Amino acid sequence: MAGASAADVRSILSLPNPSTAGPSQPRKPAVPAERARKPEGISRELYSLIGPSVPSLAAQLAKPRLKQKPNLGGGGRVKWEWRSFKNGARSDGFELSHWAKAGSDPNAEYPFAKYNVQTTSYVYSQEEYARLLEDAEWTKEETDYLFNLVREYDSRFHVVYDRYEYPSGPQRTLEDLKDRYFSVCRKLVRDRPWAGDEASKNQLLSSLQFDKERETTRKKYVTSLEDRTPEQVAEEDALFVELQRLEQNERRFKRDRDELLRTLLGIESGLPDVQVDEEGLNGAPQESKKRKRGGNAGADLDTPVSASPSVIALGPAIPKKAQSAKNAAFDAQNCIIRTEVPATTSSSTKVAHQPVYLRSYKLPTPKMTAAPKVAQVLGELGISHTRLVMPTRENCAQLEFLLEAGAALVETKKSVDKIEQDIRIAKARLDNRQSEDADGEGTGDAAPTPMDVDEVNDADADAEGEVDGRAQSVMSTRSTRSARGRRSV
């Protein structure tokens, strides 16, 4: 069965041959109707390979559209000819020859003649010299010589100085020459009528300015700089490196210090680039403090500092002036309570500054001396003074009042104890005296005496407890113990 093809199967089943070949059937080479016509623009070899089956492609192949060749040099050949030319910069009629384009104008000006720029040179008349330019150190002949040289060498003063050899004249320095030349030019410009405006004249005069003293000093400095020995240069270099190192250190210290100040003091550090976060509320109190203070700093200094240390400003910091009008309404609406705090002027010191805090962080605490006793009193009442579930303003005030009451109670108790003690001692003394007077065995009676005192004490305490009301039952351990002792007695 393996050798049988689809055609065999068809013939066995006597099926008609399909008009179109199936996919598994080898395609019969299609015999083209008109083979002869080869499309234009396709090579014969390529056509014989791909055949006529791709006419659409062949149509595209026909004309490959390439970029047009650039037209260099205008197509035709350029003709050059050896031609003599006149140079406009020359004073004589000398003609040199060079290659030139055949078509170009033979009488055109030589292109390089325009670079022959003459510098403006100053010339003075005999009369002008006599009137203006007389100088004790310079003769007219030498000045003429100098001006000729300057003109000849186009004001290249280094070259002028090099070629300056005035016979029987004094030795001139470069500065002498420059000074003389420029001073003469300045005098001429000032004296002569000026065609342009004043500004251009001043500009010209300033360009002719020459300070001989300064130049001489400067040159002296340059020379001394060059005359340094290698050791001096090396030392200078080393010092410079050291200086740079120190400066870098100082910068680093300053940066660290600023960083530290910014972290500790925020805006109060007085540093210019403290980050002020204007938008949004950040949870950390440190940042909210910054933000609030930043808002304040932006406000006018005349406005009362209404920033409360015990209040967190919610919402955007609004400039105080705008706020003051609707202050009350705004505060009521946003549950803001303002507390007047003494304005901390010149509060750049760390001590004077009171940053913002959460109220729960600053619950009132009893005085240090009485703290354990007050805590005990509160504990008996079932109140924790270190933690308030709802530290609202009112609650805080009540807690504070409670603590104050507790403290007063403890204080009272203490004075009461003290007085009782005094009474007891006084009583003991009295008893002693009575027993001495009664001539009895006074030493044996010492023991029961405190008991009696205690009784009196308790009676007193009870009387006081009546006044204090609730506080009566919450007494110190000592008093309770003594009370128990009294009952047991």
Partner 1 sequence: MVNYGGDEVSALVVDIGSSSIRAGYAGDDTPKAIVPTTYGFTEESPSANEDIKMSEANEGEETEKPRVNLYIGQNGPSLWRENMEVSNPMQNGLIVDFNPISPLISHCLNDVMRCNPSEHPVLVTEPAWNTQENRERMAEIMFEEFQVPAFYIANTGVLNAFAAGKGSALVIDIGQSAASVTPVVDGFVLRKGLQYSSLPQLVTAHARHLLINPTSRRPAIHLWPQQLIASKQPVDAGQNPKFELRSDRVAKTTASWKKWAEDREVDEWMQSVAGVVDQGWNEQFAHQRGPKHYEFPTGYNYYFNGIERHSVGEQFFTHSRQLVETNPNLPKHLPALISSALSACDPDLRQVLMGNVVLSGGGSQFPGLADRLANELTRSFPHVKIHAPGNPIERRYGGWLGGSILASLGTFHQLWISKEEWQEHGRAIVNQRCK
Tell me which residues touch partner 1 (CB under 8 A). Answer: 87, 89-90, 92-94, 96-100, 110-113, 115-116, 152-153, 156, 158-159, 161-163, 174, 219, 222-223, 226, 230, 233
Least Å from the CB of residue 289 to partner 1: 57
Least Å from the CB of residue 242 to partner 1: 20
Alpha-carbon gap, residue 284 to 287, rounded angstroms: 6
* Comparison of 124 and 181: residue with beta carbon closer to partner 1: 181
DSSP type of residue 334: T
Alpha-carbon gap, residue 386 to 379, rounded angstroms: 11
* Comparison of 174 and 474: residue with beta carbon closer to partner 1: 174
Least Å from the CB of residue 137 to partner 1: 21
Q: Measured between alpha carbons, how far apart are the two ends of the chain, in Å?
A: 129
Half-sphere exposure of 349 (CA within 13 A, CB side): 5
Write b or e for each residue in 221-258: b if 16 or more Cβ atoms lie within 10 A of its Cβ, otherwise e: eeeeeeeeeeeeeeeeeeeeeeeeeeeeeeeeeeeeee
* Comparison of 148 and 369: residue with beta carbon closer to partner 1: 148
Least Å from the CB of residue 91 to partner 1: 9
Name all contacts of 128-131 with Cβ < 8 Å and 24+ positions apart.
128/188, 128/191
- The closest alpha carbon to 297, from 350, 347, 335, belongs to 347
* Comparison of 93 and 167: residue with beta carbon closer to partner 1: 93
Least Å from the CB of residue 159 to partner 1: 4
* Comparison of 82 and 361: residue with beta carbon closer to partner 1: 82
Least Å from the CB of residue 164 to partner 1: 10
Q: Are 317 and 304 in contact (CB under 8 A)?
A: no
Alpha-carbon gap, residue 366 to 370, rounded angstroms: 7
Least Å from the CB of residue 130 to partner 1: 30
Cβ-based neighbour number of residue 185 at 10 Å: 21
User: Nearest 10 degrees: CA dihedral of 149, 151, 156, 162?
Assistant: -10
Least Å from the CB of residue 269 to partner 1: 46
* Comparison of 129 and 210: residue with beta carbon closer to partner 1: 210
* Comparison of 50 and 96: residue with beta carbon closer to partner 1: 96
Least Å from the CB of residue 224 to partner 1: 10
* Comparison of 97 and 207: residue with beta carbon closer to partner 1: 97
Least Å from the CB of residue 162 to partner 1: 5
Q: For residue 100, what are the β-bridge partners?
A: 81
* Comparison of 155 and 412: residue with beta carbon closer to partner 1: 155
Alpha-carbon gap, residue 18 to 6, rounded angstroms: 11
Alpha-carbon gap, residue 191 to 128, rounded angstroms: 9
* Comparison of 222 and 328: residue with beta carbon closer to partner 1: 222
Least Å from the CB of residue 58 to partner 1: 49
Q: Are 88 and 113 in contact (CB under 8 A)?
A: yes
CA 414 to chain centre: 62
Alpha-carbon gap, residue 332 to 326, rounded angstroms: 10
User: Nearest 10 degrees: CA dihedral of 421, 426, 428, 430?
Assistant: -160
Q: Which two tokens stand for residue 89?
A: 């910069």
* Comparison of 96 and 318: residue with beta carbon closer to partner 1: 96
Alpha-carbon gap, residue 289 to 274, rounded angstroms: 13
* Comparison of 153 and 357: residue with beta carbon closer to partner 1: 153
Reduced to 3 states, what is the DSSP secondary structure of residue 128? helix
Least Å from the CB of residue 195 to partner 1: 30
Q: Are 423 and 454 in contact (CB under 8 A)?
A: no
Please identify which residue in the block is written with the tokens 């320095």: 173
